[in-house]
Amino acid sequence: METNSRIFMKGNWEHLVIQTFTCNPEILKEYLPNDIELDLYQGKALFSMVAFTFSKVSFFGIKVPFHQEFGEINFRFYARSKIDNTKGVVFIREFAPKPLIAFVANTIYNEPFYYKNIKKNILQSATQKKVTYKFNKNNEISVQAHSHSKPTQKNSLQEFIVDRYIAFVKGRNNTTYQYKINHRPWQLHQIKKCKITIKVLELLPEVFKNSEHITTYFVDGSAVTIQKGILQNKAAYALEY
């Protein structure tokens, strides 16, 4: 059993809109941390835009005032460890409407975080839910879906994209950090309508502009706990906390 002293962050990640693209694998290789390689799906390199709600945030058991619920957007691609074949993700860019979150993530955890004023709106009923994330005036990511959810299909694209419990982060001096993201298996809601009025790829460097959209999922999410460790040659995961 993991002890609380090893968990540095807790919170809820919910109402996830995951829009996935395929691109030239050479574009993603420059973002790979040491001892990490691309995890291809049927020979294709994939990355995703993930818009979600982050709530009930605490660091080392302490709730951060004015940071208890907000929308967040990140871009991630799919990778795995060369040491033990553990599957995970690598972040390309992350956006949050809280300057403190962006500052701490960049300076302490070496994550590629940026400030952006993201607004969210969530409407739920017994039969459906609608989630909207907005920023830069009229830019909108909106999904309307059935309230009922179901597990991802085994050995499917759904499972490949959604079932990820590790984030690999490029540290200083060739160090690779592993963030263990502990949560129950997430489930999918069937999408009824999807409206994305922004060109999400414009949030990334220009080399991504010709990427091809392949699918969009709406995921329920859950409570999460996160542990930080270091990828090592002899022990794939050495806990720092």
Q: Is the predicted pLDDT of residue 161 greater than 90, yes or no?
A: yes
**Banded pLDDT at 233 (limits 50, 70, 90):** low
* Parallel/antiparallel/unpaired status of strands 187-196 and 139-151: antiparallel
Contact between 77 and 47 (Cβ < 8 Å):
yes
**Banded pLDDT at 61 (limits 50, 70, 90):** low
- The ranges assigned to domains in the chain are 4-236
The token pair that represents 207 in the structure block: 């080399």
**Banded pLDDT at 97 (limits 50, 70, 90):** confident
Name the amino acid, one letter, at 61.
G
pLDDT 10s digits, 9-52: 889 999 999 999 999 999 999 999 999 999 999 999 999 999 99
Other Cβ atoms closer than 10 A to 53: 20
Q: Is the predicted pLDDT of residue 239 greater than 90, yes or no?
A: no
Q: Is the predicted pLDDT of residue 151 greater than 70, yes or no?
A: yes
pLDDT 10s digits, 122-144: 999 999 999 999 987 778 899 99
Q: Is the predicted pLDDT of residue 99 greater than 70, yes or no?
A: no
What is the pLDDT, as a whole number, of residue 194? Answer: 93
**Banded pLDDT at 112 (limits 50, 70, 90):** confident
Q: What's the whole-number mean pLDDT along residues 155-172? A: 93
Distance CA 18, CA 20 (A): 6
3-state DSSP assignment of residue 206 = helix
Q: Does domain 4-236 have CATH number 2.40.37.10?
A: no
CA 197 distance to own-chain centroid: 21
More confident residue, 207 or 228: 207
Mean pLDDT, the chain, whole residue set: 86
Q: What's the whole-number mean pLDDT along residues 96-121? A: 71
What is the pLDDT, as a whole number, of residue 228? Answer: 83
Distance CA 108, CA 145 (A): 37
pLDDT 10s digits, 184-196: 999 999 999 998 8
**Banded pLDDT at 100 (limits 50, 70, 90):** low
